[in-house]
Structure 1
């Protein structure tokens, strides 16, 4: 199985999926997501695999969300009324539905859509230099499904609203304190610690773990419907002047001016 945007390895019961676009801070494009979906489905169905690790190449970023170079005048190419042109929903679904634990191994920036990826994983271990946060309202975008509703389950609704409504960035220590991640380690120890956790999981009953994960998911499966609605709305929003202003400002490295849309929101 050959991939261009990711690395996919299996060893001793552990599958490791690595987003391999370090020059783009591991931002994902359609190809990246399609390859990740294929790898997750393969690992999820492989009876020799008991744990899946998700990480990013290099030491700067886990993932910073969608690649802005793939963004056009009305959003990402190939969009439909329930799809922004990137199969983000499908990837989130396959991570949640994999019948074995998925551990996010966060080695740097986890921002925007990349932050949501680590949110939907079952567990998360981060290096001390990891940075977490959302950026949607800064750039004319949002994730009003798992990125909001499920995030609130992890950190509490008040903190989740802060994360989205202020678009601040948070250190690994802050992420640990709010319940966003499970553990912090030195960067040089990150993958070793992730494999230690994976090996500990491999000593447990796989059928029990499968049913436990399904039980946790059942409590929040309604968020899937919210996610579909949210991405449908996001597709429409990407074609508005308000969203375009956020995107242009990001590309031009300036502060966006959303003032006219605050006064005339019905025209955006």
Structure 2
């Protein structure tokens, strides 16, 4: 597969996936999602690979979610690619691939992990963050949401009250705050992030691959029911994207103006 939106390399048992759209703060479009899925499946099939590291290009962002400039006026996204539950993105497929690949996926968060980018690190097995990283959700501010893994699984990690705060207020949190709530495993200086991710990967590679695989399956089993919730979430999101309310969020973002959701409370 010709890769345009990500960088993909394999070395010494580690597969590294880098979202390579730094000019868009590594916001993803359909091509980005499809390339990530392809690379993860390639790493899945390669028995020499034991760990996957997911990160973003540049120093500013890990990923800030879906590229709002690609969101169409008729709902969904002006993207080529799979249906993705009707929103024009294979996001649900990507989340499932990260969870189901029988190898740990480490998120190396180098900057902003916002919106759909925040969900990506949530579904990864482990998260190592630069001390400058920022985390948070933005969906309700731009007429979107993730009512699947992005909320239900998040609540398993940080607790119901904190998860509701994260989604309802759409504020940003430091790496230290996220570590305190159990959302980040370790914080390191930004210039040591990739080295630390590699160090953790090498420690995992020293362990029994079958034991690691079975442990991942066991951890996933407890929250497997969220897959069904995720399917409902994506289906409802496809319908929501056709509404004026959702488009108000997108248009306000693109026009760099204050959003006006009060008109939909009348």
TM-score range, shorter chain: over 0.9
Superposition misfits of 4+ residues, deviation over 2 angstroms: 77-83
1:254 shift after superposition:
1.3
- TM-score after normalising by structure 2: 0.97
What is the Cα deviation at residue 80 of structure 1?
5.0
Whether contact under 8 Å (1:134, 1:167) holds in the other structure is: yes
Does the CA contact (< 8 Å) of 2:8 and 2:15 recur in 1?
yes
Match of 2:245 in 1: 242
| Corresponding residue to 1:109 among 104, 109, 112 | 112
Of 57-66 and 251-260, more deviation after overlay is shown by 251-260
What's the counterpart of residue 76 of structure 2?
75
User: Unaligned stretches of 5+ in structure 1?
Assistant: 264-268
Taking the aligned partners of 2:150 and 2:198, their CA distance within structure 1 comes to 27
State the shift of 1:191 in Å: 0.4
User: 2:33 matched to which residue of 1?
Assistant: 33
Shift of 1:141: 0.4
Question: Which residue of 2 is the match for residue 144 of structure 1?
Answer: 147
d(CA) in 1 for partners of 2:241 and 2:133? 29
Q: Distance in 2 between matches of 1:132 and 1:255?
A: 22
- Measure, in 2, the Cα distance between the counterparts of 1:204 and 1:153: 27
Unpaired runs of 5+ in structure 2? none
- Looking at structure 2, the residues matched to 261 and 165 of structure 1 have their Cα atoms a distance apart, in angstroms, of 17
Superposed displacement of residue 83, structure 1: 2.7
> Is the 1:62–1:114 contact (alpha carbons within 8 Å) kept by the matching residues of 2?
yes
Whole-Å separation in 1 of the counterparts to 2:69 and 2:163: 28
Q: RMSD between aligned alpha carbons? A: 1.2
Shift of 1:81: 8.5
Distance between the aligned counterparts of 1:153 and 1:173, measured in 2? 19
Deviation (angstroms), 1:262: 1.7
Name the counterpart of 1:174: 177
1:54 is matched with: 54
Per-residue CA deviations over 1:133-182 (Å, capped at 9, x if unaligned) read 00000000000000000000111110000000000000111111111110
Residues 114/234 of structure 1: CA separation in 2 closer, same or farther (3 Å cut): same
Q: 1:253: how far off? A: 1.1
Helix, strand or coil: the match of 2:86? coil
How many residues end up aligned between the 2 structures? 263
